[in-house]
Structure 1
Amino acid sequence: MHVAVLAGGPSPEGEGSFLSADSAAKALADLGHTSEVIDISEAGFWSRLAEAQAAFIAGHGWYAEDGKLQGLLEVLGVPYSGPGVMASALGMHKPTFKQLLVSKGIPTLPWVTVLKSARREELARVVDRLGLPLFAKPASNGESFDAGIIRTIDDLQELLASEGPYSSQEYIVEPFVTGNTLTIGIVQDGSELVSLPVLEAVSHNEFYDAEAKQDPDLHDYRCPAPIPDHVTEQIVDLALRAWKACSCHGISRFDFMLSDKGPVMLEMNTVPGLTRQGNLAGMAEASGLGFNRVIELMLASAFNRPTYCP
């Protein structure tokens, strides 16, 4: 079939998403499909979908991964890969996602949301409540853009005062947990949910920041992660519970840290990075499925979606 691979957009992650789009397009070609990469920031890009039999979403961040693009495709009646509007919106807005986790008994770190305009007195209350050190990140960004470790109130005030190209008005602050990030992909194969092997990301920087994520020389991936079997089982169980709570579809990736009490869920990514050097590709190869098979299942999710997907 002919597939429109959607990427780009006015997002901090928009430009980088073309790497995912190119990787997906090559896999689709290996599978016998033709494809066209379309930049969703182009005016009237949806008019170019008329020739496509499906849309493969490879965009990351705002307008591509947050439910807005999914909603447009629903209205247009274009079959598309991956989760629907609700799951995508939940995954993008970290405070709302964490509220859902708490309601379902899924462990996550305690958190407080603060606005860039917050006064020092409010920031002092955040520190009193959560202690130090802390980790602060935008409530709706990915790739750890504008995120940082907070060791003093001054650090937090400085981070909120910064006006970078990816600045956000709302931040989420939570305790800083040392250690490596653990991540697991869940992919849908018809009516079956397949959990890929847990992957451990080892950052060469102080934390797994945007620089470490984008530079292969600044991180190492270990897959399967060298963790006890019972921890792996816990992570699989928690990821499947979050998948069902969010009404995911097709594919999603769930990030964890290990606390003193066991794994705690950090985030959900409804459009994981798709480069051959990325963590999803690493999990796909370690699982035995292979990257192309995962891409094939993602495309198939465009056609096995429930009649109405929230």
Structure 2
Amino acid sequence: MHVGVLAGGPSPEGEGSFLSAESASKALGDLGHTSELIDLSEPGFWSRLKKVDAGFIAGHGWYAEDGKLQGLLEVLGVPYTGPGVLASALGMHKPTFKQLLVGKGIPTLPWASLTKAASREEIAKVIDRLGLPLFAKPASNGESFEAGIIRSMDDLQELLTSDGLYSSHEYIVEPFATGNTLTIGILQDGDRLIPLPVLEAVSHNEFYDAESKQNPDLHEYLCPAPVAPHITDRITELALLAWQACGCHGISRFDFMLNEQGPVMLEMNTVPGLTRQGNLAAMAEASGLGFNRIIELMLNSASNRPTYCP
């Protein structure tokens, strides 16, 4: 096949996605395919899409994994990897994803949404309900960009009024929880779902922030995670429940926090990072599948999608 590897674009995560694209392209070559990089920030990039057999989505963040690119590919009739429009949009907008989790009985941390227009009174009500410290992050962003610990009302108001490069109009806040940061990838092989081994990400910073995610010296991956078998089973069960609830396809990764009550789901990522040093690659190696097989299954997801995928 001749595969268009899509990356870049106007997202704050766009530049970093070229690393995922490079790893994916190398693996596709190893598997006997040809590929070309399609930069989502290039004017008229969509004109190149009709010349490829499939689009391999390696972009991250806005306009790449939020359903917008998936919708364009659907309209153009270009087969593409990973989940469709609905699942991608659900994974990107954290408050909506949280509402779905609650509706399905999947444990998650309590939360509140606040916009940049929030009054001091609205901020005070959130703090009264959730307590301090809090953890705040943009409602539609990844990589922990402009996320941080909130220890006072002034901290939260300062974050909401800041004009950061990566910020959006809306933030989500949760109680700041300490505990193990765990993640699990789910792969699809035809009609069969393959849960990968659970991975624990140990950050050397105060939390698993953007710096520790991007710097291998500031984190450690333990895979399989050193947790009790019943915890692994519960995480797998919850991830599969969320997969079905969101209508995922191909691949998704689910992030958890493990506290005294057990695992609670934090987020879903429908286009996981694909660098050889990333957590998906570590899960692939621990599973025995290997990185190239992961890429092969992702590519296969472009051709075995349901006739209509919402």
TM-score exceeds 0.5: yes
Q: Does the CA-based 8 Å contact 1:180-1:203 persist in structure 2? A: no
For the residues of structure 1 that align with 2:39 and 2:66, how far apart are their CA atoms?
16
Shift of 1:46: 1.0
The answer for the alignment partner of 2:145 in structure 1 is: 145
For the residues of structure 2 that align with 1:205 and 1:146, how far apart are their CA atoms?
15
The answer for the alignment partner of 2:304 in structure 1 is: 304
- Paired residue secondary structure (1:16): helix
Alignment of 1:287-298 (within 5 A): 287-298=287-298
RMSD: 0.6
Shift of 1:50: 2.4
What 5-or-longer segments of structure 1 have no aligned partner?
none
- Paired residue secondary structure (2:41): coil
For the residues of structure 2 that align with 1:206 and 1:159, how far apart are their CA atoms?
18
- Paired residue secondary structure (1:28): helix
The answer for the alignment partner of 2:79 in structure 1 is: 79
The answer for the alignment partner of 1:115 in structure 2 is: 115
For the residues of structure 1 that align with 2:180 and 2:107, how far apart are their CA atoms?
17
For the residues of structure 1 that align with 2:167 and 2:200, how far apart are their CA atoms?
28
Shift of 1:259: 2.3
The answer for the alignment partner of 2:97 in structure 1 is: 97
For the residues of structure 1 that align with 2:105 and 2:259, how far apart are their CA atoms?
16
For the residues of structure 2 that align with 1:110 and 1:161, how far apart are their CA atoms?
23
For the residues of structure 1 that align with 2:75 and 2:169, how far apart are their CA atoms?
29
Deviates more, 1:152-161 or 1:272-281: 152-161
- Paired residue secondary structure (1:167): coil
For the residues of structure 2 that align with 1:56 and 1:48, how far apart are their CA atoms?
13
- Paired residue secondary structure (1:109): coil
The answer for the alignment partner of 1:59 in structure 2 is: 59
The C-alpha deviation readout for 1:257-308, integer Å capped at 9, x for no partner, is: 0122110000000000000000000000000000000000000000000000
Shift of 1:51: 2.0
- Paired residue secondary structure (1:49): helix
The answer for the alignment partner of 1:88 in structure 2 is: 88
Read off the aligned partner of 2:105 and give its amino acid letter: G
The answer for the alignment partner of 1:160 in structure 2 is: 160
For the residues of structure 1 that align with 2:113 and 2:231, how far apart are their CA atoms?
29
Query: With structure 2 as the length reference, what TM-score do the two structures score?
Result: 0.99
For the residues of structure 2 that align with 1:33 and 1:51, how far apart are their CA atoms?
15
For the residues of structure 2 that align with 1:179 and 1:286, how far apart are their CA atoms?
23
Alignment of 1:137-216 (within 5 A): 137-216=137-216
Read off the aligned partner of 1:249 and give its amino acid letter: H
User: In the alignment, is residue 24 of structure 1 matched against residue 24 of structure 2?
Assistant: yes
- Paired residue secondary structure (2:14): coil
For the residues of structure 2 that align with 1:168 and 1:46, how far apart are their CA atoms?
26
- Paired residue secondary structure (1:205): coil
The answer for the alignment partner of 1:9 in structure 2 is: 9
For the residues of structure 2 that align with 1:299 and 1:132, how far apart are their CA atoms?
44
For the residues of structure 2 that align with 1:108 and 1:178, how far apart are their CA atoms?
14
The answer for the alignment partner of 1:41 in structure 2 is: 41
Read off the aligned partner of 1:148 and give its amino acid letter: G
Shift of 1:157: 1.0
For the residues of structure 1 that align with 2:79 and 2:42, how far apart are their CA atoms?
20
What 5-or-longer segments of structure 2 have no aligned partner?
none
The answer for the alignment partner of 1:239 in structure 2 is: 239
For the residues of structure 2 that align with 1:167 and 1:107, how far apart are their CA atoms?
27
Q: Does the CA-based 8 Å contact 1:186-1:196 persist in structure 2? A: yes
For the residues of structure 1 that align with 2:107 and 2:241, how far apart are their CA atoms?
11
For the residues of structure 1 that align with 2:89 and 2:130, how far apart are their CA atoms?
27
Q: Does the CA-based 8 Å contact 1:181-1:256 persist in structure 2? A: yes
Query: With structure 1 as the length reference, what TM-score do the two structures score?
Result: 0.99
The C-alpha deviation readout for 1:76-107, integer Å capped at 9, x for no partner, is: 00000000000000000000000000000000
For the residues of structure 1 that align with 2:242 and 2:39, how far apart are their CA atoms?
31
